[in-house]
């Protein structure tokens, strides 16, 4: 939480806060930064029709402290002579981590208070952001936010355990793009068909991965609270990128703000 468009939008705002060499690295490697904005969520989509260790690994990363991940990222970047495509990916990943960790506690509160599903809160917030940006919340092609080029694949792979090799990264990106494309319909009938298929398959909760045509007014409160946290997190993310850079380049201790999970 939040979902793909929110993370992408957040990354654009953080990018504007960067300057100097950091901004140049992101600008020249934006697709790698952009997929970094999705954090470990890309692994949730790996072979989505059955339970698997890759998806479990993505969930595991979300549930544990991110400190070890970022310490390892420092070592990887130093070993690889500060490869800028990899560094851009990690800067995007930092954005994902900050937004998730700033929002998840509030989402849990809203689930209890409003009685709605986690994915529905995400979906309603995504639609609100798209409307703010003058986009069609139902017809927006989310799959276009997912890069699959080889430069992106090789930028991701070095930061993860052995379970994640280049083939797994390729498949995860392919499956994420496929799911976002399949759960997409601008028509009421098309959306009804997809919702019905998910219900019959016992996966009705996943309909919220698709932006529903009908808004849920109950989520107006969660939208307001999430938007406030979204805006407040931009400066935090920019500062944490700069702090990470100090650790990477100057050997300073990794900021303790990284010692939280995504939730």
User: Which DSSP string do the residues of 235-252 spell out, in sequence order?
Assistant: HHHHHHHHHHHHHHHH-P
Tokens of 89: 């990916």
Q: Cβ distance 123 to 226 under 8 Å?
A: no
b/e per residue 18-33 (b: at least 16 CB within 10 A): beeebeebbeebbbbb
Q: pLDDT of 57-105, one tens digit each?
A: 999 999 999 999 999 999 999 999 999 999 999 999 999 999 999 999 9
pLDDT score of 214: 86
Structure confidence at residue 233 as a pLDDT band (50, 70, 90) = very high
Read off the pLDDT of each residue in 9-18 and give the average, rounded to a whole number: 99
The string of DSSP codes covering 11-44 is: HHHHHHH--HHHHHHHHHTHHHHHHHTTGGGGGG
Share of the chain above pLDDT 70, in %: 89
- Report residue 1's pLDDT band, with 50, 70 and 90 as the boundaries: low
pLDDT at 154: 98
Greatest Cα pair distance, the chain, in angstroms, is 57
Span of 29-33, 163-167, 191-195 with lowest mean pLDDT: 191-195
Q: How far is CA 122 from the centre of its chain?
A: 12
Where residue 139 falls among pLDDT bands split at 50, 70, 90?
confident
Angle formed by the axes of helices 84-114 and 20-28, to 10°? 90
| pLDDT value at residue 189 | 61
User: Residue 117 and residue 200: Cα distance in Å, rounded?
Assistant: 19
CB 263 within 8 A of CB 100: yes
Least confident of 47-56, 194-203, 207-216, 250-259: 194-203
Percent of the chain with pLDDT over 90: 80
**150 is written with which tokens?**
């080889």
Model confidence band, residue 203 (pLDDT cutoffs 50, 70, 90): low
Give pLDDT, residue 138. Answer: 86
DSSP helix, strand, coil percent of the chain (3-state; round to 5): 75, 0, 25
User: Which of 93-124 are b and which e, b meaning 16 or more Cβ less than 10 Å from the residue's Cβ?
Assistant: bbbbbbbbbbbbebbeebeeebebeebbbbbb
Distance of CA 127 to the CA centre of its chain: 16
* Confidence class for position 182, pLDDT limits 50, 70, 90: confident
Q: What is the pLDDT of residue 185?
A: 64
The closest alpha carbon to 182, from 164, 166, 195, 168, belongs to 195
- The answer, yes or no, to whether residue 207 has pLDDT greater than 60, is no
Bigger pLDDT: 200 or 27? 27
Residue closest to 67 by CA, chosen among 244, 232, 246:
244
Residues 6+ apart with CB under 8 A from 168: 43, 46, 54
Position 187 scores a pLDDT of: 65
Is residue 22's pLDDT more than 80?
yes
The two three-digit tokens of residue 103, written as one number: 């929002």
Q: What is the pLDDT of residue 63?
A: 96
């Amino acid at each position: 939480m939040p979902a793909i468009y929110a993370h992408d939008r957040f990354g654009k705002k953080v990018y504007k806060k960067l300057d100097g060499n950091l901004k140049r690295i992101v600008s020249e490697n934006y697709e790698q930064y952009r997929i970094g904005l999705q954090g470990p969520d890309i692994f949730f989509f790996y072979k989505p029709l059955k339970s698997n260790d890759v998806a479990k690994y993505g969930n595991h990363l979300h549930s544990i402290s991110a400190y070890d991940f970022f310490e390892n990222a420092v070592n990887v970047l130093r070993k690889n002579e500060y490869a800028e495509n990899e560094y851009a990916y990690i800067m995007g990943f930092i954005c994902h981590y900050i937004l998730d960790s700033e929002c998840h506690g509030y989402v849990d509160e809203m689930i209890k208070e409003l009685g709605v599903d986690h994915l529905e809160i995400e979906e309603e917030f995504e639609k609100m952001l798209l409307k703010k940006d003058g986009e069609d919340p139902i017809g927006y092609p989310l799959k276009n936010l997912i890069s699959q080029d080889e430069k992106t694949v090789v930028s991701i792979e070095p930061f993860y355990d052995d379970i994640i090799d280049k083939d797994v990264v390729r498949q995860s990106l392919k499956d994420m793009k496929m799911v976002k494309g399949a759960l997409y319909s601008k028509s009421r009938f098309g959306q009804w068909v997809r919702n019905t298929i998910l219900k019959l398959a016992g996966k009705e909760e996943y309909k919220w991965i698709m932006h529903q045509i009908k808004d849920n007014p109950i989520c107006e409160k969660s939208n307001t609270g999430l938007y406030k946290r979204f805006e407040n997190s931009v400066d935090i993310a920019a500062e944490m990128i700069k702090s990470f850079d100090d650790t990477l380049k100057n050997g300073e201790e990794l900021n303790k703000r990284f010692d939280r999970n995504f939730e």
